[in-house]
Amino acid sequence: MDKGYTQKQAVFILYGISATFGMFAIILMESGVWKALSFALMIVAIIAIGYKDLMKPHVEKKKDE
């Protein structure tokens, strides 16, 4: 929330992180190490692409009335 996200946005980000770790655990248990590592690399690539957007502050713009 220090980055300017609302409480709702911060919760959705945490849900996404939790879901990612959950999927990694399921893939690791069911399919083995190599598929789990490929999933992890895919997630790292997605995060690297979106890194700039995650690091800049999100400030809501006020609408002129």
Q: Is residue 16 part of a domain?
A: yes
pLDDT of 62 strictly over 70: no
Q: Is residue 12 part of a domain?
A: yes
Q: Is residue 64 part of a domain?
A: no
Phi-psi region of 32 (alpha: psi -120 to 50; beta: other; left: phi over 0): left
Q: Is residue 19 part of a domain?
A: yes
DSSP-assigned states of every residue in the chain: -TTS--HHHHHHHHHHHHHHHHHHHHHHHHH-HHHHHHHHHHHHHHHHHHHHHHHS---PPPPP-
pTM of the model: 0.57
Phi-psi region of 4 (alpha: psi -120 to 50; beta: other; left: phi over 0): left
Residues spanned by the domain of 37: 7-55
| pLDDT tens-digit map of 22-46 | 888 888 788 878 888 888 888 888 7
Q: Is residue 65 part of a domain?
A: no
The residue with greater pLDDT, 60 or 28, is 28
pLDDT of 64 strictly over 60: no
| pLDDT tens-digit map of 46-59 | 777 776 665 666 56
pLDDT score, position 55? 61
| Other beta carbons within 10 Å of 43 | 15
Structurally, the chain folds into a number of domains equal to 1
